[in-house]
Amino acid sequence: MNKRDRQQKILSLIRAKPIATQETLRELLENAGVAATQSSVSRDLEELGVVKHHGHYTLPRTNGAGARGLVSLDLAGDNLVVARTHPGLASAVAVEIDAATFPEIVGTIAGEDTIFIAVRDQKAERAVIKSIWGLFS
């Protein structure tokens, strides 16, 4: 019914088990008593920053180690991707990202536990998140 609740439900669903398509996600929501269309699911996933990787939807964030310092990836507007790392590892992570030379990345700057990644446009943002997440997982 409510957008926020639906998005929360989506998060718990994709955390519970791998989900391959928006249509199956929509069905699961329906079973949980939350009616929605594929359109809305698509927009929700976009807003939540969920990304499809290895054939299923996941959140680009970790709760522990295993990703060589990278903790999360987020968006700020249309031209900036913000990566969070474990303390002190931002530079190391940034070096690795730079080394991969993604064409959509215009430039990066690293602080202590944060990296700003400038990209050309909104389309590039999603591609970059997907690529970087793949690089570190």
Partner DNA sequence: ATTGATTATGCAAGTTGCGTGCATATGGAT
Partner DNA sequence: ATCCATATGCACGCAACTTGCATAATCAAT
Q: Least Å distance between CB 37 and its own copies?
A: 25
76 is a site residue for its own copies (CB under 8 A): yes
Residue 58 binding result from DNA, its own copies, none, given CB thresholds of 5 to 8 Å by partner type: none
120 is a site residue for its own copies (CB under 8 A): yes
Q: Closest by alpha carbon to 131, among 73, 62, 44?
A: 73
Give yes or no for a contact between 108 and 94, defined as CB atoms under 8 angstroms apart: yes
Enter the tokens of residue 3. Answer: 């957008």
80 is a site residue for its own copies (CB under 8 A): yes
Enter the tokens of residue 124. Answer: 């590039």
84 vs 64: CA distance, rounded Å:
13
Q: Least Å distance between CB 92 and DNA?
A: 29
116 is a site residue for its own copies (CB under 8 A): yes
Residue 102 binding result from its own copies, DNA, none, given CB thresholds of 5 to 8 Å by partner type: none
**Interacting residues with DNA (CB under 7 A):** 2-3, 6, 20-23, 35-40, 42-43, 45-46, 52, 123, 126
Q: Closest by alpha carbon to 115, among 58, 76, 66, 63?
A: 76
Q: Least Å distance between CB 62 and DNA?
A: 19
Burial of residue 91, with CB atoms counted within 10 A of its CB: 0-12 exposed, 13-18 middle, 19 or more buried:
middle
Note the residues at the interface with its own copies (CB under 8 A).
74-80, 82-84, 91, 94, 106-112, 114-116, 118-121
